[in-house]
Structure 1
Amino acid sequence: MNILIVGRGGREHVLAWKVSESPRAHRVYVAPGNDGMAKVATLVDIKEDQHQAIVNFVKSNQIDLVIVGPEAPLMDGLVDALEDKGIRVFGPNQSAAIIEGSKQYAKQLMKDYHIPTAEAQVFEDVEQAKAYVMEKGAPIVIKADGLAAGKGVTVAETKEEAFAAIEYMLDDQQFGKAGERIVIEEFLEGEEFSLMAFVHGDTVYPMVLSQDHKRAFDDDFGPNTGGMGAYSPVPQISKRIFHQALHHILKPTARALVKEGRSFSGILYAGLIATEEGPKVIEFNARFGDPEAQVVLPRLESDLVEVIMNVLHEEPVDLVWSDEAVVGVVLASKGYPGEYEKFKPIHGLENVSEEALVFHAGTVCKKDQWLTNGGRVLLVASKEQRLEDAIKQAYDQVSKISTEHLFYRKDIASKAVRYYH
């Protein structure tokens, strides 16, 4: 099979790596990809929003399967454009991707179908939003309604922080159209975790659990990011909670989308929190999480291409997972998630062990020199029998890379060790 992956980040790198391992994969392409993926795929100079160019490439290169990685092309209807031409594609259409594209829609869906989540209200007016915060108190969570690259969430510890976030989104329009409407929801106490699943209609095949680290700095300080690292498994989340999440959240959500005429096909990601009342939804995404994909897919022993094809053809899927632990640490440009400089040299990549998993997100190679080209630059992961060994190995490899222009968290997965046997 000839396979095209659409996207350019770390999630797409791990997808290309995993797909390239499949005996069913003949040629693997990534559009536009990044230079770090060149070992496992052929890069195609077409951007994610160039739908017609993607369709033309698929036809002229006899592509058998397209996998759409990021959320923006899903929300922009790339899947619809491909399906209209009879092209086999893995990812939800525009109508189903709204579960990520509008937090207001996702909240209403959960309310209508009794899917457990935080109490919330939607606002477009600054003063009404502030009045609601005054009524509810802090801590409280402020979210941009639309896509904001993982940065549109503020967990406000005080009313003043909440007011600042409201003004930042509604008055200053820092997230553009994505922040013209905001969702304010109750703060939930508990352990967060991510559960992703292969979904086709009302059929759901869950993956193993992972947990990412959203805040920029150690001990969960600093602003929210797209994710500063992740690990899998998540030993502090019991099998009972996993099954509750599957049967009370993921499966009912897939059925609800079918009933709503928005049947979902692709990866449904549930960002969850284990509360005293059971797991509740923090957010839904319509694609693999990033960086969660980089620690979950290395544990998948099944052939990813075969899994996707069987999901699409409604044939039985057998997911086999390694018992090993994977820990991934993100190296980000100094200043991220705020302003940062690009094209700064990255030294030491050649010293990283062949056994380590290095996934490129924001890099470019010019004249044999690796340079930064984004906020999140690299993810370095290690796979070991024991979680503590995976942590040690990941950080040993990270230490070989110069961090003059980069920073990383030093506590990825550390709190999980005491639960791990």
Structure 2
Amino acid sequence: MSLTGKHVAILGVGRSGRAAAALALREGAAVSAWDSAGPEAFDGMPAGVEIHPNASEAEGGAVVSDLLVVSPGIDTYGSYVAEFSKQSGEVIGEVELAARLFKGRIIGITGTNGKTTTTELVERILSHAGLGGTACGNYGMPFAEVVLQSNPPDVVSLELSSFQLETIRSLHPVVAIWLNFAPDHMDRYPTVEAYRAAKLRIFENQTATDTVVVRTGENLPPVVAKVVTFSTTDPSADWFSEGRTIEHDGETRLDMERDTSLRGLHNAENTMAALAACDAIGILPNIMREALHGYAPPPHRCELIRTLDGVEYLNDSKATNLHALESALRSQTRPVVLIAGGKEKGLDYSPVVPLLTKKALAAVTFGQISRPLAELFAHAVPCESVSTLADAVTAARSLAPRGSTILLSPGTSSFDQFTGYEQRGNAFRDLVHQLR
């Protein structure tokens, strides 16, 4: 794609917008940048870009461009984009712009949950194999920043959100990973079907020589690429795990407890997806196993803090909604003492009760919703209500026998006692390390 002499308009000036502007400039385009925010939002915009702060819809209707690059945080189907696109030759996103100018291969990762961990795992394996593997897209750096590097990687690990997939046209992953699907972002999409349709676009440019890696039971529409399955419930899948070992072609490819700090069935799924994707591009099993040795998941996502007196302590502070709590609880393979609670958000936690019956020995609730949550959870397991996270850790320890897991998976936001899930998770980590 040649941009020489073309006018590229960038809509949205966050990090991805700045990266897209820099890439378009490098390719010879005249570049303008537009945002409804004030001039301070344009700090860091490359020299040579014509900037337009406080940009209104009315201004957008008058902008003539060969290419309009829309940032993923802006609603593609909203009136703001509609005005700017009236006199644009084509509307794409920063990821699509970068893909058109990237000469290497793409492993694309999408799903409602688990994308970031899987993206990190793929990056780690690719890097160990000498293929670069930079994590980018919805996680890590913008894809355009990768393309701007003097020596771009041979393969990228590209996390793709539904927002980014809305604006692709030619993006072509040689391997597309579909982890799972659950309703989300209903503030942006009119229906669950519209959200799913956006995510399914990851497959639309694949050919018969490419690979789709998908969890068994996801019920995808027909795809032209080769399908490779993974499962924690169906031993006939191409890749299978019972929660500890990962099996493929009759061989144990990884022992998660021995080789990594990953725990839980959902992390077994993430790991199988990463291994299957890298296997599809020819990376050898021993290289993949070496790459993942000692790997720990991103902070606050079922992060193993320590094992004390035979009890594992997992930090899943990022679980700020009911679905994330259910996912973390469902994935556990050891008996659980659950720590949950935080800000009152008016959520209905009753769907958790049957899971508690199956997965938990006890629960401890804390924070603003501690008492009502404890009353509900008590229908399933013994439950203690306390005020603070520190009290919750102490109570959970007294309830957890050897061989169990203490799981902090709050199921709501942290703003009653903390500035965010990160501070809450860091506090939990500190409290666990102080235990003797």
TMscore range, shorter length: under 0.3
TM-score (norm 2): 0.26
TM-score, normalised relative to structure 1: 0.27
Which structure is richer in relative contact order (CA contacts within 8 A, separation 6 or more)? 1
Mark the structure with the bigger radius of gyration: 2
